[in-house]
Amino acid sequence: MKHKVWHKYAIVYLIVSATILLVINLIIRPQNRKYNKQEHRTKLYKECVIIADEYVKEYRLDGFSLRSFMMQMNAVKEMLKADVWIVSADGMVIASTVESPRTEVNIASEVPKLLDSVYLDNVNVPGLSDGDVMCAVEPVMEGYRIKGYIVLAEPMSQVLEESDSFMLRLNLVSGVSLLLLLLVFFVFAVYHTNNLINIDKTIIAYTDGDFGAEAKVRGRDEYRDIARSAHMLAEQHANLVDYQKNFVANISHDFRSPLTSIKGYAAAMKDGTIPYEIQGKYLNIILFETDRLSNLTNDLLDLSNFENKGVRLIYEKFDIVKMLKQSSSTFEGKCSQKNMKIRLVFPENELFAYADKGKIQQVVHNLIDNAIKFSKPDSVVTVVAAEKRDKVLVSVKDTGIGIPKDAIGKIWERFYKTDLSRGKDKRGTGLGLSITKQIIAAHNENIKVISTEGVGTEFVFSLQKADS
Q: What would the DSSP string read from start to end of 408-422?
A: GGGTTSTT--S-TT-
Q: What is the mean pLDDT of the chain?
A: 84
pLDDT on residue 260: 83
pLDDT on residue 343: 94
User: Is pTM beyond 0.75 here?
Assistant: no
Burial label for 58, CB within 10 Å (0-12, 13-18, 19+), is middle
How far apart are the C-alpha atoms of 436 and 370, rounded to whole Å?
12
Residue 138 CB partners (closer than 8 Å, separation 6+): 45, 48, 49, 51, 52, 149, 150
Residue 173 has pLDDT above 90, yes or no: yes
How far apart are the C-alpha atoms of 250 and 179, rounded to whole Å?
66
380 forms bridges with which residues in the sheet?
Answer: 341
pLDDT on residue 350: 85
Residue 398 has pLDDT above 50, yes or no: yes
The fold of the 222-305 domain, in CATH, is Helix Hairpins (1.10.287)
Helices within 348-418 (DSSP H only): 357-373
For 248-301, the pLDDT digits (tens) are 776 676 677 678 888 888 888 888 888 888 888 888 878 877 876 887 777 677
Q: How many helices (H) and strands (E) does the chain have?
A: 11, 12
The distance in angstroms from the start CA to the end CA of the chain is 73
Q: List the domain boundaries for the chain.
A: 5-162, 222-305, 311-464
pLDDT on residue 313: 83
Residue 418: which pLDDT band, with cuts at 50, 70 and 90? low
Go through the chain and tell me how many residues it has.
Answer: 468
CB 153 within 8 A of CB 85: yes
What percent of the chain has pLDDT above 90? 34
For helices 279-309 and 222-270, angle between their N-to-C axes, nearest 10 degrees:
160
Residue 312 has pLDDT above 60, yes or no: yes
Alpha carbon distances (Å) from 172 to 185, 198, 218, 297, 455: 20, 39, 35, 81, 86
- Radius of gyration of the chain from Cα atoms? 52
Residue 63: which pLDDT band, with cuts at 50, 70 and 90? low
CB 319 within 8 A of CB 351: yes
Q: Which of 99-108, 156-165, 302-311, 327-336 has the lowest mean pLDDT?
A: 302-311
CB 188 within 8 A of CB 9: yes
Residue 2 has pLDDT above 60, yes or no: no
- Domain spanning 311-464 has what CATH number? 3.30.565.10
Residue 357 has pLDDT above 70, yes or no: yes
pLDDT on residue 456: 92
Helical (H) or strand (E) element with 214:
none
Residue 424 has pLDDT above 50, yes or no: no
CATH code matching the domain that covers 5-162, chosen among 3.30.450.20, 3.40.50.300, 3.30.930.10, 3.20.20.100: 3.30.450.20
